[in-house]
Structure 1
Amino acid sequence: MRLTHVVRAGVAAAAAAIAALAFPAMAGAHVTVNPNTAVQGGYTKVTFRVPNERDDASTTKLEVAIPTDKPIASVSVKPVQGWTAATETSKLATPIKTDDGEVTEAISKVTWTADANSAIKPGQFQEFDVSLGPLPQTDQIVFKALQTYSSGEVVRWIDEPAAGAEAEHPAPVLKLSKKADTTAASTTSSAAPALTADSGSSSNNGTAIGLGIAGLILGLAGLVVGVLAYRRTPSPTA
């Protein structure tokens, strides 16, 4: 009987270790922009990745605000099967000068709405592609986003990054670098392949899996120690 208890305790310890290590990875899911870096003055395609964080509701709508204080002249969206994309424009306080003349209005919001069969179900995610450019001369672009669920709940991913603080509902952020800053990066990339946003995500997933395996090993080690201790315990004499 005592051996059975030891075995059960070891298995429980292994399961607890895996759950504790895996929880932070699951809890950190939120709306993101990928890749999360680009170059000022250039054009880029970004992908807004939207995971469903609810067990009892589906995501039916995504709204992404495009800042107009540092406006982007060209914003276009890639069709997503089962989703309808709509854009809103705003009058610019300061027109943008382009080769084709001045731009006085710019897209300030994109809204994707799912049809009845295409909502993001529990345990799933969807990606929405947007082409942007020319990118403004600024350090970053904060895309505040609203995620609407079939239950009527709206999750506001609008918290801007702050030094030394982890936001509860962080907004997707695209970091922008100056063209001169990319010279060294280009030289480095010729010697070794650069990590893409997806490979970084895969690396994070690999880390989480590795931690889970480590937790399992620790739990099994505890089980072995318990069994050895049991074997060394002298049997009661009559």
Structure 2
Amino acid sequence: MHNIISRGSGAIALAAGLVLAAGGSAAAHVTVDAPGAAQGKYTVATFKVPTESDTAATTALRVTVPNVKSVRTEPMPGWTSKVERNDKGEAVAVAWTADPGNPGVGPDQFQRFVLSLGPLPAQDTVDFPARQTYSDGRVVSWDQPSTDGAEPEYPAPTLTLSDTGGSDGGEHHVASTDTTEPESDKVSRWLGGAGLALGLFAAALGLGLVSRSRKP
């Protein structure tokens, strides 16, 4: 009887562990999403920043942008943003810092940082190296490029740009109307469903084993 219950509990623990491990790997990185982003055009880019630390909060973020003409930040209560420019007046980076009294993005939380920027460069992909600062002084640099399709430990947020065949001649204030769910959110929802299914299967297995052990 004890062995049967132990096997059932083990199945439940294994299923839960697999789901948690998969969920952690999917949500660990700083990512960027910009539906419809195209070469030579303006876009709205959303950076999703999770806090990985169990004890410290995210209190600052700096994102490098590809020397673009225009960058505008979305107002965020409790945060101060600053656009950094080179001697040509091009935007090269954006930094957000939590205001005094704002604890930042705590453990098990994430925050979205939104930019309107452009025109985007005439290339297939563009990286946005990011630097995430924690309240305990730890700094994580998300700046490693993918090599031969393999994802590095700290990948730089990357956008794939469509080829429009030309440059946008003027600045536009982009309002994102795309309702497509970001890929990272789809993965999270899929993992949640898989976790529920595995949990139910493991629970049924445990109950079945216990029930069978009670039969004469």
Q: Note if 1:41 corresponds to 2:40.
A: yes
SS in structure 1 opposite 2:160? strand
Q: Note if 1:113 corresponds to 2:94.
A: no
SS in structure 2 opposite 1:210? helix
Counterpart among 147, 156, 159 of residue 162 in structure 1: 147
SS in structure 2 opposite 1:179? coil
Take 2:156 and 2:114, find their aligned partners in 1: how far apart are those partners? 17
Q: Which amino acid aligns with 1:161?
A: S
Paired residues for 1:211-222 under 5 Å: 211-222=194-205
Computed over aligned residues only, the root mean square deviation of the Cα atoms, in angstroms, reads: 2.2
Is the 1:49–1:127 contact (alpha carbons within 8 Å) kept by the matching residues of 2?
yes
Moved runs in structure 1, 4+ residues, more than 6 A? none
Take 2:197 and 2:39, find their aligned partners in 1: how far apart are those partners? 42
SS in structure 2 opposite 1:147? strand
Structure 1 residues without counterparts, runs of 5 or longer? 92-103, 181-193
Question: Which residue of 1 is the match for residue 84 of structure 2?
Answer: 88
Is the 1:142–1:174 contact (alpha carbons within 8 Å) kept by the matching residues of 2?
yes
Q: Which amino acid aligns with 1:63?
A: R
Q: Flag the 1:176–1:140 CA change in 2: closer, same or farther, 3 A.
A: same
Q: Which amino acid aligns with 1:21?
A: V
Q: Which amino acid aligns with 1:165?
A: A
Deviations 1:134-166, CA, capped at 9 Å, x for gaps: 112111110000000011100110011222312
Paired residues for 1:193-208 under 5 Å: 196-198=180-182, 200-208=183-191
Q: Which amino acid aligns with 1:112?
A: W
Counterpart among 132, 136, 140 of residue 151 in structure 1: 136
Take 1:62 and 1:41, find their aligned partners in 2: how far apart are those partners? 26
Take 2:50 and 2:5, find their aligned partners in 1: how far apart are those partners? 38
Question: Which residue of 2 is the match for residue 230 of structure 1?
Answer: 213
SS in structure 2 opposite 1:64? strand
Bigger fraction of residues in helix: 1
Deviations 1:16-35, CA, capped at 9 Å, x for gaps: 21221232212332111122
Moved more, 49-58 or 157-166: 157-166
Deviations 1:78-115, CA, capped at 9 Å, x for gaps: 22111111122123xxxxxxxxxxxx330111111102
Question: Which residue of 1 is the match for residue 18 of structure 2?
Answer: 20
**Displacement of 1:195 after TM fit?**
6.8
**Displacement of 1:54 after TM fit?**
0.8
Is the 1:46–1:130 contact (alpha carbons within 8 Å) kept by the matching residues of 2?
yes
Is the 1:35–1:197 contact (alpha carbons within 8 Å) kept by the matching residues of 2?
no
SS in structure 2 opposite 1:121? coil
Take 2:122 and 2:36, find their aligned partners in 1: how far apart are those partners? 13
Take 1:37 and 1:160, find their aligned partners in 2: how far apart are those partners? 22
Question: Which residue of 2 is the match for residue 173 of structure 1?
Answer: 158
Alignment coverage as a number of residue pairs: 202
SS in structure 2 opposite 1:131? strand
SS in structure 1 opposite 2:47? strand
Question: Which residue of 1 is the match for residue 55 of structure 2?
Answer: 56
Q: Which amino acid aligns with 1:174?
A: L
Q: Which amino acid aligns with 1:203?
A: K
Identity over aligned pairs, percent: 39
Counterpart among 133, 151, 169 of residue 118 in structure 2: 133
Structure 2 residues without counterparts, runs of 5 or longer? 166-177
